[in-house]
Amino acid sequence: MALPYKRIIVKIGSNVLTQADGLPDAARIEHLVAQIAALKAQGLEVIVVSSGAVASGRSLIKISDKADAVTSRQLLASVGQVKLLTLYAELFGQHQLVCSQVLVTKEDFRDRVHYLNMQNCFRALLQHNIVPIVNENDVISVTELMFTDNDELAGLIASMLDADALLILSNVDGIFNGDPKNPASELIAEIAPTTTSFSSFVTTQRSQFGRGGMITKCHMAHKVAQLGITVHIANGKTDNVLPRLLQEDVANTRFLPNKSASGKKKWIAHSESAAKGAVRVNAGAKTALTDATHAVSLLPIGVVSIIGEFQKGDIIRLLDEHEKPIGLGIAEYSSEKAQERLGQKNQKPLVHYDYLFINT
């Protein structure tokens, strides 16, 4: 029985799109495009988050090993993005489909108005049956502007577009309870929303050509699943992996979704880098806020201290008494007023539960 998805994000990792020598695998890309075209023919909306620009650039120009690493990446991405999108356009054209290019940076997700404008653009593309090809703008994304990797970007896009599922294509079958290269390790078929730690069984080793590792994928996938979006991690080099995944006919790890969150909460969940300040809460407030069975607001009586300055409408971080992050929210009033009301009863919530995302 086919999984009941209507809108999916397909993230294609660097190790799927590249050969052992680091150059693009055109045959693999062609096979993936054919699979996406088949899904489109079935009526699915598909957004592709694709790595591969740097690898494509590497196939066109050579850069000295002594060159600055950041500058080299910018140069390869700038040249390679043209080749990569040209290839995608040609391959989708063979299936009578049009694709578009969407290059983004982390900064694009921080401003709420900019976020909504980007969301409207994606929706217009989907309404016209266009396949968006999304990638980080590596030409200007350096240091603090960079995503951890394209898994983080894919999670942001999935949340923004209220996708039914995010399919992460890697070079392994999914999450194992040990080193995937060890025959004794077993594939974990499902990961529940209540899972809180992955470090005990997930290797921290990074992929050969990508920036992130499996531990990064797990944390991102868990956050996206908390927002009501199913996440699958599968091997992108498996033949017909996408249709087989949707037919539940291929090995993969599925992160089971929690109850669906509002669009506002999905934005808040990924807005830590935009936080203007923080508040420390006492043990009682932490217990109430992290109770999944009840939705509660953060009241001043539960706040121990204010860290930094913020205004009404700013994103703020919520910390426990040991300064461990427990969530994010939108401040209902400024840090100055919050300081005045610190620990007081019968006061307006500092963060209303409608604008509160708790890490669970």
pLDDT reported for residue 75:
86
**pLDDT greater at residue 145 or residue 303:** 303
pLDDT reported for residue 128:
96
pLDDT reported for residue 209:
37
Fold of 7-261: Carbamate kinase (3.40.1160)
**pLDDT greater at residue 14 or residue 67:** 14
Q: Which residues are annotated as a binding site?
A: 11, 51, 138, 150
Mean pLDDT, range 192-220, rounded to an integer:
62
**pLDDT greater at residue 149 or residue 343:** 343
pLDDT reported for residue 212:
44
pLDDT reported for residue 18:
87
Mean pLDDT, range 175-179, rounded to an integer:
82
Question: Domain 275-358: what homologous superfamily?
Answer: PUA domain (2.30.130.10)
Mean pLDDT, range 244-260, rounded to an integer:
90
The pLDDT-based confidence of 282 (bands split at 50, 70, 90) is very high
Mean pLDDT, range 64-80, rounded to an integer:
80
pLDDT reported for residue 69:
75
pLDDT, averaged across the chain: 86
72: pLDDT strictly greater than 60: yes
Q: Which residues are annotated as a binding site for ATP?
A: 11
Q: Per mean pLDDT, which range of 20-34, 109-123, 225-239 is the poorest?
A: 109-123
Q: Encode pLDDT of 212-248 as tens digits.
A: 467 778 888 988 888 889 999 999 999 999 999 999 9
CATH 3.40.1160.10 intervals, the chain: 7-261
CATH 2.30.130.10 intervals, the chain: 275-358
Which of 39-43, 109-113, 225-229: highest mean pLDDT? Answer: 39-43
| pTM of the predicted structure, to 2 decimals | 0.75
Q: Which residues are annotated as a binding site for substrate?
A: 51, 138, 150
**pLDDT greater at residue 178 or residue 288:** 288
Q: What is the 3-state secondary structure (H, E, C) of the chain?
A: CCCCCCEEEEEECHHHHECCCCCECHHHHHHHHHHHHHHHHCCCEEEEEECCHHHHHHCCCCCCCCCCHHHHHHHHHHHHHHHHHHHHHHHHHCCCCCEEEEEECHHHHCCHHHHHHHHHHHHHHHHCCCEEEEEECCCCCCHHHCCCCHHHHHHHHHHHCCCCEEEEEECCCCCECCCCCCCCCCECCEECCCCCCCCCCCCCCECCCCCCEHHHHHHHHHHHHHCCCEEEEEECCCCCHHHHHHCCCCCEEEECCCCCCCHHHHHHHCCHHHCCEEEEECHHHHHHHCCCCCCCCECHHHEEEEECCCCCCCEEEEECCCCCEEEEEECCCCHHHHHHCCCCCCCCCCECHHHEEECC
